[in-house]
Amino acid sequence: RLLPLSLNHVLQNPVFNKHKPWIETTYHGIVTENDDKVLLDPPLIALDKDAPLRYAESFEVTFTKEGEICGFRIHGQNVPFEAVVLDKSTGEGVIRAKDKLDCELQKEHTFTIQAYDCGEGPDGANMKKSHKATVHIQVNDINEYSPVFKEKSYKATVIEGKKYDSILKVEAVDADCSFQFSQICSYEIVTPDVPFTVDKDGKDPDVASQPCRLPKNKLLKNRSELIEYEPGTGSLALFPSMHLETCEEPITSIQANIELETNHIGKGCDRDTYSEKSLHKLCGASAGTVELLPAPSSSANWTVGLPTDNGHDSDQVFEFNGTQAIKVPEGVVSTSLKEPFTVSVWMRHGPGAREKETILCNSDKTEMNRHHYSLYVHNCHLILLLRQDPAETENYKPAEFHWKLDQVCDKEWHHYVLNVEFPSVALFVDGATFEPFLVTEDYPLHSSKIDMQLTIGACWQGGNARMSQFFRGNLAGLMIRSGKLENKKVIDCLYTCKEGLDVQLPEEVASAVKVAFNPNQSSLTVEGDDIEAFDKVMQHISYLNSRQFPTPGIRHLRVSTTVKCFNEETCILVPEAAGYVMVLQPEEPKISLSGIDHFARGAAEFESPEGVTLFPELRIVSTITREVEAETEPEATETVVSEEIMHNLDTCEVTALGDELDGEHETLEVDQAQVQQRGLEMTSSNLGLVMTGVNTMANYEQVLHLIRYKNWHTEALFDRKFKLFCSELNGRYISNDFKVEVNVIHTANPMDHANNAMVQPNFISPVHHASVDLSGHNLVNAHQASVVPSAATIVIVVCVSFLVFMIILGVFRIRSAHQRTMRDTEGGKENEMDWDDSALTITVNPMETYEDQHSSEEEEEEEEESEEGEEEDDITSAESESSEDEEAGEPEDQQGASRQQQLEWDDSTLTY
């Protein structure tokens, strides 16, 4: 039975694993809270070109492991999903939840996935993996929570005989995460025979979310669906073809509210994830800001071990569950704040509790439990306690400032800024100003010499030596700025999102339609009475994300519309239009550090005031890599394209490997003026140096070039190793670890080798400052003018001296050989027969003797070995001989050459 040629080739010749598996670039999935099966679109299938084609059923085809899919790998932190291969030969797989999901904790999950083939041979060697695909999974809600009133009781007083439109307002909430199950459909009084009624619509009900009240639809409108947004492409129109149809019903006004849901992204929306201190600087805040909840590092380690929530893309968020608290080390911030001062924090909290929950507290360290100042929540109140220092007159002074805020208990992220300029305190929540509803007074504290302790997440009770009043919720970006208040411009900048809705109004409709945005541009309202103008405005509404590396994932989009007729009532009910914006995974940058990683310096250079430069040729490059399928050749593998890109860095850290830096005899130093001139900050410790601040890679590179290592006790030091890494966006992207090893060249005693140092051979050329890189080892002569020769100089002198000796020996051997040859020739002539050489022709042999050639070749080889890597202009034996001949003159040169050559018979004219 004959096989087709291509199949026969597959069966007879082993197929190597040449191709990578292929999967889709983006997947969207839905999973229900009480289920583990994810409905994925498109289905998860990996293809591999190494798999042989299936032919007719009459042929037997053996599938090799190279064409099979052995597994899928999920990338991401704390991803509650797993990917399983169902069929290795077809590459079919599924994604399922590992544990029970909770929509109330997280509505969406975004991660990446890769497929792996089975490799070559029985051991699966040379396994290949596919590109990374982005997976977005939405958790569907189930109706598991019942509505709960916000207050336990509602009270109101009415006057007999007076008619009221409204006596009081009640409000209930539902903890379900979805819009469908969390909405309150209606209210009902269950006590019979009471002279009151309650509005069934409740508080500001949304008609589109209440199918029980939605009448027959009288309006036609296209609905938005999935809209993919590619990072870095600017604005993307959301409703380019939207049209409102009123079925010829006369109307007086149209109002549409467009809402972009971003609460699940970071701290409420897509913002830069730089440190809070860097963000304050970027927003124009002056110096003096202290970050109390920094990301853990060698210079700020008091947050190490503090739990973090599932923040997005390195957004530094800390979790407090009622048992954790941290002490801020002394010296980080002044114990007594200098007025005026500012306290700012991101907080997510709720629901309220009867106990006090401390955010920040400064209290007595020992003996007593006095609170000097603190910021805490109690029920749904935000309270600032500020006890004044003792004065001559101990009168009552404002001590506690209370704000009653719904934001404190709504389980959403909010930004709080308190500007304290005693006796007034201004509070900004998400950029809006709030006045305290209550201010209580108290006596100033009595003066004492007791030290104070600053804590976060609870308050330190010095008399009992324990923590109390623990906080339950999430905190981020806790800052104190002493001596100056934050202005409104900086506050708005700190809160503003990097993503949101945008609209460019056409000139012809700018006056016919009114457009209003909320502060963070996550929702806007369009209102007018011209249908055609209304359509044009809606078609120009777009989504914009200005981040270079935005957070990928889903942003839900909702459009609710109200149409009114001549009687000023809602005459046409419009269903809600729903969809979502899918922000695709940005190309991840690869930050690469390179340069000289191993070099040596003299001990004197380490002990000099300048020290040794650690990173003299450091280079920082960031690239992105794209895989491009070959279009012309179907069987060709993907082409990898790498492009260099420019973006900022926010941290570079240099650490000493092995032993920590001993401050008594070694240090890492850099010119502080140069650091500040480039807009960076530096902190140092016995672990190393940390450079911080959002700045260009070029500026970081220049500052790192200035770092010097000094050691004024090098007797026992032979080498020192350091590590450098840089990061972007608070650790979201991290460079490679660039390690540098520095070797110490110990010099000899100056008294023992004074003569050798001062009298150097005149044939050695001076060594210049240019260094010579030998296989990654950069050996530089330290202190050229020093009278003490280094080890490298001594080695060079010995080698060159040996070379000169060999040259002189070689010349002597050549001349001795010539003299022996001449004596042998003259002795032989006496015994030779007298030839009649009248008919002979005598020519001169230009070739040297075998001994001369052999001697010359040995000398040239010795010269090449001794001169490798050197820059001295030494004289070879051949150059020496030619130099002597030129000095003797041309006639002597010809005679000397004739004497060194043998006679050769020209027997071309002889007959035998």
* Range list of H helices, 726-867: 754-758, 791-831, 850-867
- Tens-digit pLDDT profile for residues 507-549: 888 788 899 998 788 999 999 888 889 989 999 999 999 999 9
Task: Count how many Cα atoms sit within 13 Å of the Cα of residue 211 in the half-sphere of its side chain.
Answer: 3
CA distances (Å), 203 to each of 110, 199, 206, 273, 775, in order? 34, 9, 9, 36, 76
Helix axes 791-831, 877-888, angle to 10 degrees: 60
Question: Are both 22-140 and 276-495 of the same fold?
Answer: no
* Least confident span in 201-215, 501-515, 683-697: 201-215
Of the candidates 810, 804, 904, 808, the one whose C-alpha atom is nearest the C-alpha of residue 854 is 810
pLDDT band at 369 (very low <50, low <70, confident <90, very high): confident
Secondary structure of residue 24 in the 3-state scheme: coil
| pLDDT value, residue 802 | 81
- Tens-digit pLDDT profile for residues 556-569: 899 998 888 876 66
* Of residues 163 and 27, more confidently modeled: 27
| pLDDT value, residue 57 | 36
- CA atoms of 349 and 236, how far apart (whole Å): 34
Strands 226-229 and 577-583: parallel
| pLDDT value, residue 891 | 42
Q: Structure tokens of 189?
A: 């009084």
* Least confident span in 7-11, 70-74, 437-441: 7-11
| pLDDT value, residue 793 | 67
- 538's enclosing H/E stretch is helix 531-539
The residues with which 362 forms a beta bridge, in sequence order, are: 373, 454
| pLDDT value, residue 392 | 54
DSSP string, 118-136: --BTTTTBS--B---EEEE
- CA atoms of 909 and 912, how far apart (whole Å): 10
CATH 2.40.10 fits 226-265+497-583, yes or no: no
* Range list of H helices, 123-220: 179-182
pLDDT at 868 over 80: no
pLDDT band at 876 (very low <50, low <70, confident <90, very high): very low
CB 685 within 8 A of CB 298: yes
- Provide, rounded to the nearest whole percent, the portion of the chain with pLDDT above 90: 32
- CA atoms of 49 and 47, how far apart (whole Å): 7
CA distances (Å), 755 to each of 749, 759, 765, in order? 12, 6, 19
What is the pLDDT averaged over residues 581-588?
87
pLDDT band at 834 (very low <50, low <70, confident <90, very high): very low
Average pLDDT for the chain = 77
* Least confident span in 173-177, 221-225, 327-331: 221-225
- Provide, rounded to the nearest whole percent, the portion of the chain with pLDDT above 70: 73
What is the pLDDT averaged over residues 717-730?
93
Strands 777-779 and 598-602: parallel
pLDDT band at 356 (very low <50, low <70, confident <90, very high): very high
| pLDDT value, residue 765 | 36
pLDDT band at 122 (very low <50, low <70, confident <90, very high): low
- The domains of the chain are located at 22-140, 226-265+497-583, 276-495, 590-630+639-745
pLDDT at 5 over 70: no
| pLDDT value, residue 836 | 44
pLDDT at 706 over 70: yes
In 289-330, the DSSP E strands lie at: 289-291, 318-321, 326-327
* Least confident span in 111-120, 392-401, 772-781, 854-863: 772-781
Amino acid identity of 834?
D
| pLDDT value, residue 242 | 82
Q: Structure tokens of 614?
A: 């650690």
Phi, psi for 598 (deg, rounded to 5) = -160, 115
| pLDDT value, residue 633 | 53
CB 770 within 8 A of CB 628: no
Instruction: State yes or no: cis peptide before 43, omega within 30 of 0.
Output: no
* Range list of H helices, 556-671: 603-607
What is the pLDDT averaged over residues 246-266?
84
- 711's enclosing H/E stretch is strand 708-711
CB 496 within 8 A of CB 397: no
- Within 8 A by CB and 6+ apart from 366, the residues are 450, 451, 462, 463, 465
For 22-140, CATH number? 2.60.40.60
Secondary structure of residue 626 in the 3-state scheme: strand
pLDDT at 798 over 70: yes
pLDDT band at 889 (very low <50, low <70, confident <90, very high): very low
What is the pLDDT averaged over residues 672-694?
92
| pLDDT value, residue 787 | 39
| pLDDT value, residue 224 | 46
- CA atoms of 73 and 873, how far apart (whole Å): 61
pTM of the model: 0.62
pLDDT at 887 over 70: no
| pLDDT value, residue 870 | 41
CB 277 within 8 A of CB 479: yes
- CA atoms of 170 and 376, how far apart (whole Å): 28
pLDDT at 875 over 90: no
The position carrying tokens 């990996």 is 46
Q: How many CB atoms neighbour CB 650 within 10 A?
A: 24
| pLDDT value, residue 524 | 94
What is the pLDDT averaged over residues 299-319?
80
Secondary structure of residue 509 in the 3-state scheme: helix
DSSP class of 769: S
Of the candidates 380, 359, 385, 356, the one whose C-alpha atom is nearest the C-alpha of residue 478 is 359
pLDDT at 302 over 80: yes
- CA atoms of 427 and 435, how far apart (whole Å): 7
CA distances (Å), 800 to each of 754, 772, 871, in order? 20, 18, 12
* Of residues 123 and 418, more confidently modeled: 418
pLDDT at 629 over 80: no
pLDDT at 20 over 80: yes
pLDDT at 617 over 50: yes
DSSP string, 364-430: ESSS---EEEEEEEETTEEEEEEPPPP-SS---EEEEEEEE-GGGGSSSEEEEEEEEETTEEEEEET
- Tens-digit pLDDT profile for residues 130-162: 888 888 888 888 888 888 888 888 888 888 877
What is the pLDDT averaged over residues 707-723?
92
What sign does the dihedral 94-98-100-106 (CA atoms) show? negative
| pLDDT value, residue 597 | 94
- CA atoms of 310 and 329, how far apart (whole Å): 27
* Least confident span in 385-399, 488-502, 597-611: 385-399
* Of residues 94 and 449, more confidently modeled: 94
- CA atoms of 846 and 900, how far apart (whole Å): 9
Would you call 166 exposed, middle or buried from its count of C-beta atoms within 10 A (0-12, 13-18, 19+)?
Answer: exposed
- Within 8 A by CB and 6+ apart from 508, the residues are 533, 536
* Range list of H helices, 132-183: 179-182
| pLDDT value, residue 823 | 54
CB 398 within 8 A of CB 422: yes
The position carrying tokens 């890109």 is 645
CATH 3.30.200.20 fits 276-495, yes or no: no
Task: Count how many Cα atoms sit within 13 Å of the Cα of residue 872 in the half-sphere of its side chain.
Answer: 23
Task: Count how many Cα atoms sit within 13 Å of the Cα of residue 721 in the half-sphere of its side chain.
Answer: 6
- CA atoms of 490 and 693, how far apart (whole Å): 17
